[in-house]
Amino acid sequence: MRYRLLTLLVATLLIAACGQQQSVRSGSPVTPVFAFTEAVVGPNRIALGLVRNGSPVNDPGAKIHLRFFDLNDTSSPVKIETDAVYYGQGLPAAIYVAYPTFDRAGNWGIEVQTTLSGQSEPNVARLRLEVKERSEVPNVGDRAISVKTPTVRDVPDPSRLSSGRVEDLSMYQISLDEALQNGKPTALLFATPAFCRTAVCAPSLSVMQQLQKIYGDRINFIHVEVFRYPFRESFEAQTAVFQKLSQEGRAPRPEERNVGLSDPMIAWGLQSEPWLYLIDANGVIVARYEGGITREEMTPALENLIAGKPPQDGR
């Protein structure tokens, strides 16, 4: 468990290092870090992790208040103000999630007020966030990319469907291209249980398998493995590319970006894991979740998906 916690901590800190600048009030024992890779104009899922004394924090009683500032608009001091909700149930480290909608691209500031259980005064940190005009991967409002995904009909050996131990075949019954035509909404999870760099793929897959048992007659549930079979060899090939890029201090070339990835991952342009997409009955993406998910967050989202409402309604 401690290894998984450290894996997640390293992953979130690596994400934070890519473009995140922060300043924390002197003496503050809590540091917020971004647990997502991009923010865009429109609705967003902003997930934060907390680090204290070098370790991730998992405090269900923590109070996280966020204030968002458009740094290009000095006429309005606070553009968005909201609380972040705790979602750490079953995850190796907690995330605290808010759902702001950004009205324009550019540099934004986030003031994070964190009050842990037992504290009387909040710690205050300020983060800088780049909001992009458009996402680099499929986003809310886009049509889902129709692609064939492996099913038990095409791949009778379960060990070739997922890098994890496959005991539940419920998420390998229908291909995505078929699901987009059958009049039901779809929950599409890209995850690699055995080779997850963020340590949250297996818990996220478990959550969706549990929810499939409840909503499987009304929603298509599909799991797509991140890596191409044989999974270990593909993971090791990608790792070798990452190491080479790190040594050479450069970005990947086009032919290096997709080394080891499965065909659906390449078709959707995804480079990290896990990703969950909720797609309505018309084939339009209505929500996306990068990183770990919990049953507590997803249950109302799926209820709204079935009802034809925005998944974050009422949050």
Determine contact, residues 112/126, Cβ cutoff 8 Å: yes
Tokens standing for 97? 């999630």
The predicted pLDDT at position 260 comes to 98
- What pLDDT does 314 receive? 52
The verdict on residue 314 lying in a domain is no
- What pLDDT was estimated at residue 75? 82
Alpha carbon distance 210, 41 (integer Å): 33
CATH of the domain at 176: 3.40.30.10
User: What's the pLDDT tens digit per position in 221-251?
Assistant: 999 999 999 999 999 999 999 999 999 999 9
In this structure, the answer to whether residues 290 and 170 fall within a common structural domain is: yes
Domain presence at residue 80: yes
Q: What are the pLDDT digits (tens) for 107-140?
A: 999 999 999 999 999 999 999 999 999 999 999 9
Q: Do residues 223 and 273 share a domain?
A: yes
pLDDT at position 15 is: 43
Tell whether 102 and 205 lie within a shared domain.
Answer: no
pLDDT at site 26: 39
Among the three residues 132, 167, 189, which one is the final residue of a domain in this structure? 132
The whole-angstrom separation of Cα 71 and Cα 51 is: 26
Task: Note the pLDDT tens digit of each residue in 136-167.
Answer: 999 999 999 999 999 999 999 999 999 999 99
Number of domains observed in the structure of the chain: 2
Burial per residue of 100-124, b for 16 or more beta-carbon CB atoms within 10 angstroms, e otherwise: bebeeeeebbbebbbbbeeeeebbb
245 and 174 together in one domain: yes
Query: For position 68, which CATH number holds?
Result: 2.60.40.10
The answer to whether residue 238 sits within a structural domain is yes
Beta-bridge partner residues of 125: 24, 112
Q: Give a yes or no: residue 290 inside a domain.
A: yes
Q: Which residues pair with 80 in a beta bridge?
A: 68
The answer to whether residue 150 is domain-embedded is no
Are residue 165 and residue 291 in the same domain, yes or no?
Answer: yes
Pair 48, 171 in one domain: no
With a cut of 70, which residues of the chain have pLDDT below it? Answer: 1-28, 313-315
pLDDT score recorded for residue 7: 43
- Domain shared by 117 and 203, yes or no: no
Residue 41 structure tokens? 């104009």
Cβ count near 216 (within 10 Å): 16
Do 290 and 213 sit in the same domain of this protein? yes
> Do 127 and 173 sit in the same domain of this protein?
no
**Final residue in a domain of this structure, among 98, 116, 132:** 132
Judge whether 240 lies within some domain.
yes
Tokens of 292: 């770990």
What pLDDT does 73 receive?
A: 87
Establish if 34 belongs to a structural domain. yes
What CA–CA distance (Å, rounded) separates 225 from 195? 10
Query: Does residue 11 lie within any of the structural domains?
Result: yes
**Do residues 83 and 193 share a domain?**
no
CB 136 within 8 A of CB 269: yes
Place of tokens 């298509």: 220
Residues 194 and 290 in one domain: yes
Specify whether 169 is located in the same domain as 300: yes
Task: For residue 93, give its domain range.
Answer: 2-132
